[in-house]
Amino acid sequence: MKHLHSITALSNQDIMDTIHRAIALKNGKMLHYGNIFTANLFFENSTRTKCSFEMAERKLGLQVIPFDTSTSSVSKGESLYDTCKTLEAIGCDVLVIRHPENEYYKQLEGLNIPIINGGDGSGQHPTQCLLDLMTIYEEFGKFEGLEVIICGDILNSRVARSNYYALTNLGANVRFVAPEIWQDHSLPASYVQIDDVINKVDVCMLLRVQHERHGDTNKGFSKESYNAQFGLTKARYDHLKDTAIVLHPAPVNRDVEIDSDLVEAPKSRIFKQMENGVFTRMSILSQVLENNR
């Protein structure tokens, strides 16, 4: 892995190598890189991705150059390309970027600095996908034959898109649950009713209702009606197999995608995902650094 723009650029072997290295790091494998500089450029808000990248970078011994979009020269109109070229020129070795524009990384292809995508618009969220895969693999030790549902705003979700491609390539059967207005028929997955499948799935992946991307298109849904039709309620949770797990990339809209009491329920792996995010990002950063030496 020389950079990480999209999950679709990774082979199944790349994905498994990333997961195995992340698990080794979680089990105590030590990696340390001296005199390597990184910057995290977040043009959209973030808690988990930004903080866990910074944690991963510090655990690997990297020097993190603070970058705040609101006080940077981006506020004077400097382009993304010129911003990244500047950070390359002053000596950064790797950049982590989250940006609202789909495939923003294509405009950076002339740079010599590796880019790790922390989320591009409604395009891809490859590091979230890899930490989700690590969490699933830790649980089941395989992907082949797993029954997965991804529930919610498929159309606007970079997490859904990344997970659909990766899990399908790895042999899982991925189906979607979504209101009609949030269905994305460019992805060749079938849509099902949650109550028809909830007792058969191995992985129930919930998506955040992304109010910031909807404009007026979510009119007609109250929190209660979304929760009743598409959310993980206590009754649905009780129908899950004993071995099933519940994932959510977070932040969670409690009592919308999932009943508040279920966020830390025994089958929930939501905080395990966040824990695994640090080791997954350490795995990704270390591979990118080693392959760019």
Binding residue per annotation — 251?
yes
Per-residue x/- mask for ligand CP, residues 98 to 137, rule CB under 6 A? ---------------------x--------x---------
- Which one of 3, 21, 99, 125 is the catalytic residue? 125
Q: Would you say 66 or 77 has its CB closer to ligand CP?
A: 66
To the query of whether residue 21 is one of the catalytic residues in this protein, the response is: no
To the query of whether residue 49 is one of the catalytic residues in this protein, the response is: yes
Burial of 274 per CB tally in 10 Å (0-12, 13-18, 19+) = middle
Residue with tokens 């790797």: 94
Q: Which of 40, 49, 83, 286 binds ligand CP (CB under 6 A)?
A: 49
Q: Would you say 40 or 198 has its CB closer to ligand CP?
A: 40
Three-state SS letters, the chain: CCCECCHHHCCHHHHHHHHHHHHHHHCCCCCCCCCCEEEEEECCCCCHHHHHHHHHHHHCCCEEECCCHHHCHHHHCCCHHHHHHHHHHCCCCEEEEEECCCCHHHHHCCCCCCEEEEEECCCECHHHHHHHHHHHHHHHCCCCCCEEEEECCCCCCHHHHHHHHHHHHCCCEEEEECCHHHCCCCCCCCECCHHHHCCCCCEEEECCCCHHHCCCCCCCCCHHHHHHHHCECHHHHHHCCCCCEEECCCCCCECCCECHHHCCCCCECHHHHHHHHHHHHHHHHHHHHHHCC
- Which one of 3, 5, 21, 98 is the catalytic residue? 98
Q: Would you say 126 or 249 has its CB closer to ligand CP?
A: 249
CB of 53 to ligand CP, least distance (A): 9
Q: Would you say 227 or 276 has its CB closer to ligand CP?
A: 276
The residue range among 26-34, 43-51, 184-192, 217-225 that interacts with ligand CP, by the rule CB under 6 A, is 43-51
Q: Which of 60, 149, 250, 285 binds ligand CP (CB under 6 A)?
A: 250
The residue range among 4-12, 143-151, 246-254, 283-291 that interacts with ligand CP, by the rule CB under 6 A, is 246-254
46 binds ligand CP (CB under 6 A): yes
Q: Would you say 46 or 233 has its CB closer to ligand CP?
A: 46
Strand partners, 177: 151
- Which one of 26, 29, 48, 267 is the catalytic residue? 48
Rule CB under 6 A: which of 210-239 touch ligand CP? none
To the query of whether residue 280 is one of the catalytic residues in this protein, the response is: no
Token pair for residue 126?
């490859």
How many residues form the binding site for ligand CP (CB under 6 A)?
9
Binding residue per annotation — 89?
no
271 binds ligand CP (CB under 6 A): no
Alpha carbon dihedral 209, 246, 157, 213, in 10-degree steps, equals 10
Q: Would you say 88 or 279 has its CB closer to ligand CP?
A: 279
48 binds ligand CP (CB under 6 A): yes
Residues that bind ligand CP (CB under 6 A): 46-49, 119, 128, 249-251
Point out the annotated binding site for carbamoyl phosphate: 48-49, 98, 125, 128, 250-251
Which residues form the catalytic set? 48-49, 76, 98, 125
